[in-house]
Amino acid sequence: MLENSLRWWRGWVAFEAEGAMPAALLDAAAKRGVALWNIRRKGLVLHATCRAKDYARLRRPARRAGMRLRLTKKRGAPFLAARFSNRWGLLAGGVAAVLLLQLLGGHIWSVSVSGNAAVSEETIRKEVAQWGVTVGAPIDELDIERIRLQALSQIDGVAWLTVNLDGSVARVELLESDTPPTILETDTPSNLVAKCDGWIRSMTVYSGESMVKTGDAVTAGTLLVSGASIGDKRLLLRRSLGEIMAQTEHTFTVTVPLCDTVLTEEAPFHRATFSFFGWDIPLFASSPLPDVYRSEQTERFPHIGDVTLPLGLRFDTYYPQTKRAITRSPEEAYAEAERRLRLWEQTAFRDIQILESRYICQRDASECVLTGQYLCLENIAEEKMILVDD
């Protein structure tokens, strides 16, 4: 292997010698100190290999031996350098790349996070970035123990965290803490009161004394379950727990004008940024952004396995939004009002069962008013603490 490496750096050539006296050529090469290898003969043709600088020394002995030489292959560093002798840009680029790799080898190229499930990766990255774990940061300035202690004190739900350096990749590894079981606190006395008007359909009382029964109609603020009771001629206070399911009524109104001003999106425009080891280089002419817009960001960074390289492109797409006066037909106004009412229902009745619903629409020349009336089944019990004077 060492001999082949030396031959490559010096350069070697393969040649053919055709004639009747190949032995005379070999004897003359040996006398002149010309080393030949890979010698073989096919018919009248002799094949051999020698150092590039020795090939010219074989021409005279070949003529004397009646042999005709012809090059078949040229390999090695001298020929490679000659091929690129007029392309100094490639050589300079190669040298610059080697120097750049040496310079950036002591910096973080990529940051990965593993072991998280409940805690978001973005939260972890932001926290460790405050202590130097970010793309482009010098590796020798990282204080792993300090990072570990600070991150554990700042990030809730993390029981263990460390940063392992794998070459130029900083791998943030962590273990999340187990969620402690919910401990039911029963020492603080409380009552259950109605948070809205309703007709009680069912009752499940776990603790406390019931003050109403199934079938009763109650108003907001009515005492449903009391945490105070008399036992052994003294007042006993405890926490009230239970579920009081009642039939309730709710109303919500949406107003949509026929003549309105809305935000509309215009044709988007893009801005590209070249990111290199944490430095962002804008690839666009500076110009002010519109007053109102919506934006989206995409990234294109090359990967090697699971490692993201620290150079790539970041694209920001902006959607300018302008105010525009519109005129709705009565049908369009009703459709918009219904859409808004449906969105409100999804939020307001997330934990409430709707038994019946109906919409009442009132229209005039300027607006559409849509009112939703709902008959629901929900837990109306609301806990109120009992204040006890010392």
pTM exceeding the 0.75 threshold for the entire prediction: no
Measured CA angle at 165 (ends 160, 171), to 5 deg: 50
Q: What is the DSSP string of 345-360?
A: HHHHTTTSEEEEEEEE
Distance separating alpha carbons of residues 211 and 228, to the nearest angstrom:
11
Reduced to 3 states (helix: H, G, I; strand: E, B; else coil), residue 226 is: strand
pLDDT of amino acid 85: 66
Q: Per residue in 266-308, pLDDT tens?
A: 999 999 999 988 888 999 888 899 989 999 999 998 888 777 8
Res 194 pLDDT > 90: yes
What is the model's pLDDT at position 379?
Answer: 96
Q: What pLDDT score does 8 carry? A: 86
Residue 3 pLDDT level (bands cut at 50, 70, 90): confident
Q: Using pLDDT thresholds of 50, 70 and 90, give the confidence band for residue 9.
A: confident
Instruction: For the chain, give the number of residues.
Output: 390
Q: What is the pLDDT of residues 101-143, one digit of tens each?
A: 666 678 888 888 999 888 888 899 888 888 888 888 888 888 8
Classify residue 45 as left (phi > 0), alpha (psi -120 to 50) or beta: beta
Q: In this structure, what token pair is assigned to residue 147?
A: 């990072």
Residue 344 pLDDT > 80, yes or no? yes
DSSP H/E element including 271: strand 269-276
DSSP strands (E only) in 6-114: 12-19, 36-42, 45-51, 67-75, 110-114
Q: Of 151-165, 176-190, 199-213, where does the model show the most confidence? A: 199-213
pLDDT tens-digit readout, 349-389: 999 999 999 999 999 999 999 999 999 999 999 999 988 76
Residue 375 has a pLDDT of: 97
Q: What CA–CA distances, in Å, run from 384 to 6, 76, 200, 217, 387?
A: 90, 90, 19, 20, 9
Q: Which of 89, 20, 7, 87 is nearest to 49 (CA)?
A: 7
Write down the residue that tokens 């070697």 correspond to.
12
Q: What is the pLDDT of residue 233?
A: 74
The whole-number pLDDT of residue 230 equals: 80
Residue 98: pLDDT over 70: no
Query: Residue 380's pLDDT is what?
Result: 96
Q: Give CA–CA dist 111/308, Å, rounded.
A: 8
* pLDDT at residue 347 in the model: 92
Distance CA 46, CA 63 (A): 14
pLDDT in tens, 40-49: 888 788 999 9
